[in-house]
Amino acid sequence: MVAHLLRLRLDLLTGALRGRGDAVARAVIGLVLMVIVTVALCIALLSLTDAPADRAQAILVLAGSAVIIACAAAPIFLGISDPLDPRRFAVFGLSPQVLAPGVALAGLVSVPVVALAVVLVCIAIVWQAHGVHPVAAIFGALLAFVTSVLTARCSLAVSTLVFRDRRSRELSGLFLLVLVVVLVPVAVFLASLEWRGGVPSALAVFVQGLSVSPFGAAWAFPLTGGLAGASGGVDTWIPVVIAIITVGLLWLAWAWLVQRLVSHLAPPAALRQRSGLGWFAVLPSVPFGAIAARSLVYWSRDGRYLANVVVVPFAAVLATVPLLVAGVPAPLVALLPVPVIALFLGWLPHNDVAYDSTAVWMHIASGVRGVSDRIGRLAPIILIGVPVLAIAIPVCTALYGRWAIAPALIGVAAALFLSGLGLSSIASVLAPYAVAQPGHSPFQQPQRNGSSGVLSQSLVMLLSLLLSAPALWWGWLAVTENVDYAGSALASGLVIGGVVLLVGIVLGGVVFDRRGDRIMEFAETA
């Protein structure tokens, strides 16, 4: 049976080179890129043979943990279809006890798995270069290999069970967005560390934690003794035990998932496949989910929304350049873009209802609660604002030169951003003003504009600053007097922002429910 599955897997791989010309070209390009990346990784890893043991340990544990996390997340978020889906073999009458190991072994026949095996051979060489016994090095490489493969297998099975008809390009885009949010701050942080003389203490503590976690245990134990001697932390046997237990639990999970998949067959693909749903297939089938999906579509396609988003980085630049020209120290100026960006991002949806024009009748006529409308309309700006701030904060902190100030920046950004969203939730239904009509140029003069527009814009921005004053004050003290005030800025910013956002959503929902006729009147005449 296993041999048959292996032959089927080989046929699938070779079949990719016998199809249409464009498909073959994509397969060849992908293979070439995989080879290039693998060679580059091997060269980088082999350079660690001459590095200190603690440095090699830190890099291997961090990289290995990232591999495990990627194996777990990628199949779910990228919507990868499993060619070895156990349900495909249900017609053969095989028991899950036979099918589970067969599919797992057949899954080893793939280009990414082969690349992983080559990389692990290089890691084993690095371990041996630092005095690890060859048997321990080989055992560690096998544990890391099996952990990675089983994690990917389980993730594919979970993806099949949970996301049967909810895979889409939007979900893949969210995965890439999460990668950017995570990787950019991590890269900036690692680049800011001082590696001379050994691993920085903060990073050493983090590596120790990963070494006794399911993510990093298999990658840690061959050099654990060296790490413990350097930083005084972890006994040699603990990562080994954790790595073995992790493999055992993953195998049990895989066997259970195969049993689940075989016993709960999905309906035919023709009955469950949906196309063209976009964000509506990703978000929950509840009122605020539908409104969020609709808003995301508009924000991604309507030039009026895109023009507003483009204004944000320009506002940050325009705020900093005059200060630099005036002679303000560059480190202080480096902190300014974060509050400016947060302020403008929170301010952007203050007139969101006006952009719907007469289409707002769908929300009113359908009887959607105002709170659901308020929550759904915030989804696009949150998906934009959180990644932007997650990138801006570590970059500005690195330019400032003191990572201890980062909590203050987070608190200030949270206060301004969340307060702005809460106030915008009220202003957009209480005092909407005319904007360019759908399909028109975003820079076109609106049909009607009066003092109400200016007042609404100004009040949202000024009240955001006023409500965020405690976080701004603590943040200023952290910069000018004592960095210990950064914790107070963080706490006050999160509390203020969260409370204002919650109150704004509730009050905005009440206003929406009570002013539905006024909103429709505005939409018809604006």
Q: What region, left, alpha or beta, does residue 401 occupy, with left being phi > 0 and alpha being psi -120 to 50 degrees? A: left
Average pLDDT for the chain: 78
- At residue 236 the predicted structure's pLDDT band, cuts being 50, 70 and 90, is low
Report pLDDT for 383.
87
Cα–Cα distance, 103 to 1 (Å, whole number): 10
More confident residue, 412 or 171: 412
Report pLDDT for 208.
80
Report pLDDT for 179.
61
* Terminal-residue alpha carbon distance, the chain: 70
More confident residue, 372 or 316: 372
More confident residue, 469 or 274: 469
pLDDT > 90 fraction of the chain, expressed in percent and rounded: 17
Specify whether the CB–CB gap between 349 and 378 falls below 8 A: yes
- Each domain of the chain, given as residue ranges in start order, spans 2-266, 278-525
Q: Mean pLDDT across the stretch 343-361?
A: 82
Q: Nearest 5 degrees, angle CA 372-CA 375-CA 379? A: 135
Report pLDDT for 411.
92
Q: Which letter does DSSP use for residue 110 in this model?
A: S
Q: Mean pLDDT across the stretch 478-490?
A: 88
Amino acid 81 reads S
- At residue 303 the predicted structure's pLDDT band, cuts being 50, 70 and 90, is low
Helix axes 370-400, 486-514, angle to 10 degrees: 160
Please give the structure tokens belonging to residue 201. Answer: 């203490």
Please give the structure tokens belonging to residue 137. Answer: 């090095």
Cα–Cα distance, 217 to 244 (Å, whole number): 9
108 three-state secondary structure: coil
CA distance to 195, 220, 468, per residue, from 225 (Å): 21, 9, 49
Report pLDDT for 233.
42
118 CA to centre of own chain: 28
- At residue 5 the predicted structure's pLDDT band, cuts being 50, 70 and 90, is low
Report pLDDT for 226.
39
Q: Is the pLDDT of residue 501 over 90?
A: yes
- Tell me, letter by letter, the H, E, C secondary structure of 205-235: HHHHHHHCCCCCHHHHHHHHHHHHHHHCCCC
> pLDDT tens for residues 171-227?
555 556 556 555 655 555 555 555 565 666 667 777 887 888 888 888 887 877 434
